[in-house]
Amino acid sequence: MELVETFKEAEENSVRFFDVGSFASSAAFSRLGQFYHWYYFPDTGVFAPSKFIGYKNTSLESYAGEGTGTDTQGVLSRWFHKLDRNTPMYSGLESKLSNFLNEHGFSLSKKTIDGTGGIYVPIGTNATTRFPDEITDESYSEGSVKSVVVNAYERNPKARDACLAHYGNSCYVCGFNFGDVYGDIGNGFIHVHHLKEISSIGREYKVDPIKDLRPLCPNCHAMVHTQKPAISPEELKRRLARA
């Protein structure tokens, strides 16, 4: 088995691992309570164990628990660091990881908690992200609340693409377009805001990318999240017009 060579390879493995609940007969599912080195990917809100994400092209069908944690932890240390247990970020992630495991009938291994294992995040991860709903068929399933310190949500990138195909890449509130101002480096850059408070729904639902999503620049996105529940983009647009 070959070790991953890039962060992207590990992240792609983690996305496959997230569907572990649909593979109850898999080796990965049966070992959920035994894994104790857990890696968190903030952009997708996914947790995955080192031995699953540390080898190239791992799938739930092919995973057999082979290999060594020492090797995978070594390669993953290029991009991740272990969280200190005495931090708010660790507390939030431990709680969400426990919830994820409990939903599948397992408990978090004591080795994760006692220091033998741990929870790992990408080097440089900011624990105070301001955009809990940012989203990195022709209905799109969403749900599965995750958390860093604030909430983040699992998202289907096809929903983002469908939203931008309809509304374009300019901010829905102020009209700012990064490509127009910054040229090539700004083309296609925009946040996508989710109108619903998914944390209050608490279950999977079907998101309509036209009704439920809006493109917002980072400034307007930050402004809608200055209140809870968030200010609607339409209300922020009215406030901007009055300013």
The full DSSP string for 139-188 is SEEEEEEEESSSEEEE--HHHHHHHHHHH-SS-TTT---HHHHHGGGGTT
Q: The dihedral of CA 195, 20, 54, 70: what is its sign? A: positive
Whether the CB-CB separation of 60 and 23 falls below 8 Å is answered with yes
Per the structure block, which two tokens stand in for 188? Answer: 């296609």
pLDDT (0 to 100) of residue 184: 87
Q: What percent of the chain has pLDDT over 70?
A: 82
Is residue 130's pLDDT more than 90? no
pLDDT (0 to 100) of residue 141: 52
Helices (H) and strands (E) counted in the chain, each on its own, are 11, 9
For residues 138 and 89, the model is more confident at: 89
pTM: 0.55
When pLDDT is cut at 50, 70 and 90, the band that residue 200 belongs to is low
Q: What is the mean pLDDT of residues 25-31?
A: 95
Between strands 205-207 and 140-147, the pairing is antiparallel
Whether the CB-CB separation of 174 and 228 falls below 8 Å is answered with no
Q: What is the mean pLDDT of residues 153-159?
A: 57
Domain extent listing, the chain = 7-122, 140-242
Whether the CB-CB separation of 216 and 236 falls below 8 Å is answered with no
pLDDT (0 to 100) of residue 197: 66
pLDDT (0 to 100) of residue 236: 95
Cα–Cα distance, 35 to 113 (Å, whole number): 12
pLDDT in tens, 137-146: 444 554 544 3
Which residue(s) pair with 214 in the sheet?
193
Peptide bond just before 233 cis, omega within 30 deg: no
Is residue 94's pLDDT more than 60? yes
When pLDDT is cut at 50, 70 and 90, the band that residue 147 belongs to is very low
Per the structure block, which two tokens stand in for 229? Answer: 């529940």
Least confident of 86-100, 124-138, 157-171, 216-230: 124-138
Between strands 37-41 and 118-122, the pairing is parallel
pLDDT (0 to 100) of residue 204: 54
Is residue 97's pLDDT more than 90? yes
